[in-house]
Structure formats: C-alpha cells, structure tokens
Amino acid sequence: MEFNRQIRIIKSSDAEEYALDDGSLVVYKASTEFTHVFNETAAFLWKECDMKCFNDIVELFISNLSSGCDGTNHEVLREEIIKDCEELFVDMMNKELVMFDA
C-alpha cells in the first residue's frame, strides 16, 4: 500500500502527552497502556499533526529546518525527510496513536 500524502492525520483521542525539558515528549495511550517517548523531531511532528495532511505537516517541518541550512543538497535532504516522516506516521498508526482520515 502506498502512503497517501494528502490524507489528514488525526491523533488518538485517548493519547495523553507530557512535555519534557529537553524538547522530547512522552505520549501515553490509555487503551493500550503503552508509553512512547518522542525525540524533539517526532515531538514537533506529533504536536502539528492533528487534522492536517501529511504534506502540510512535513512542509512546516522543513521550513523550520530551512532557517539553519548550510548549503547542503536540499532536494536530497527533502526526500530523506519525507521518507523518514512517512515511516514515523506509519509507525504511529500501527501503534494506534494516529488514524488517517479518509
């Protein structure tokens, strides 16, 4: 199945989040009783994902990164970021932290 980048992402209603001082985030899913720890990057994507489509979330993330870019090949970096974000959201879906709105 190919990842649909236009579909909206919805956070699970029973996911509770707790910010840590280092920028990471702890997400607890009550129905599965699992705790997930997100690094700063995953925390940013999590905070931005509710009711937005994948492309919009990734573009916002990339624009935040762009302010600190140092002349690297942006197109290669962009494709790598998109691939990594797809993997992260598929993992979140498999762990029932997010759903994709059809």
Asked if residue 2 belongs to a domain, the reply is no
Average per-residue pLDDT for the chain? 87
Confidence band, pLDDT 50/70/90 cuts, at residue 83: very high
Asked if residue 1 belongs to a domain, the reply is no
Domain hosting residue 70, numbered range: 8-101
Number of domains in the chain: 1
CATH number at residue 52: 3.90.930
- Summarize pLDDT for 20-67 with one digit per residue, the tens: 999 999 999 999 999 999 999 999 999 998 899 999 999 999 888 766
* pLDDT value, residue 71: 55
* pLDDT value, residue 37: 96
pTM of this prediction? Answer: 0.84
Strand order in the sheet with 8-11: 52-53, 8-11, 98-101
3-state secondary structure (DSSP) of residue 68: coil
* pLDDT value, residue 55: 92
Of 12-16, 72-76, 89-93, 96-100, give the lowest mean pLDDT range.
Answer: 72-76
Asked if residue 3 belongs to a domain, the reply is no
Q: Which of these, 25, 23, 46, lies nearest to 37 by C-alpha position? A: 25
| Number of residues assigned to the chain | 102
Determine the distance from the C-alpha atom of residue 46 to the mean position of all C-alpha atoms in its chain, rounded to a whole number: 5
Asked if residue 77 belongs to a domain, the reply is yes
Confidence band, pLDDT 50/70/90 cuts, at residue 85: very high
